[in-house]
Structure 1
Amino acid sequence: MQVNWIQMTVWLLCFIAYFLGIFIRKVVIPGKDSPSLGKQFLIGIPASFVIVPSISTLLQSAVESAPSNAAPVLVTIGLVIEHGMVMNETVTKRLLKREEPEGAFPAGLA
């Protein structure tokens, strides 16, 4: 069985891009009440297993169809980074809100 190095590189590049997006969002442009980087990385592990496989198929076809044209590859990598920046912080905040005790809700929402 021969290893497909292009496919392995694409998958690894997508995971690195996703976690790079998390890092950029936390360090460079942190949001108000942004969760810690460690919590975002921990939530990012299962979230990346949802995002990366679907987008890596796009990246794989972009790499194979036009090896000399970098535009589709760079756009797809930017999309993965953007998912790491926006989606992951939102998911982390919402999951941490669910951990609050029951009395933490305003009177009308409980």
Structure 2
Amino acid sequence: MVNEYSRNYTEVLEILKYIPIDEYNKIPKQKIEFYEKYKDRSYEYEYNFNIISKNTKCILTNLYKDYIANDKEKELINSILNLNWQKKEYEKRKLYNPNSIFS
């Protein structure tokens, strides 16, 4: 299973090496084992804060939100994610507005 997600799992595992151990231990072992099982073993990723794929950022965000963040942080993350979703929906409506497509 070598695909984009496999590369993302490789990146996630590498980045998780840099978080505090007490935070790492909050992530269920099944998640880590899943990433280990399906990572791209031929892909060599060296952590660089400036070079992280969008999918890897999404996986890390969900891991943080689901297992590490406190309630206040979870609320903030959910608000930001919801706001981003609303912005994307607005842009789609502007772009694909059925009233203006046939004008």
TM-score (norm 2): 0.30
More helix per residue: 1 or 2?
1
Higher RCO (C-alpha 8 Å, min separation 6)? 1
TM-score (norm 1): 0.29
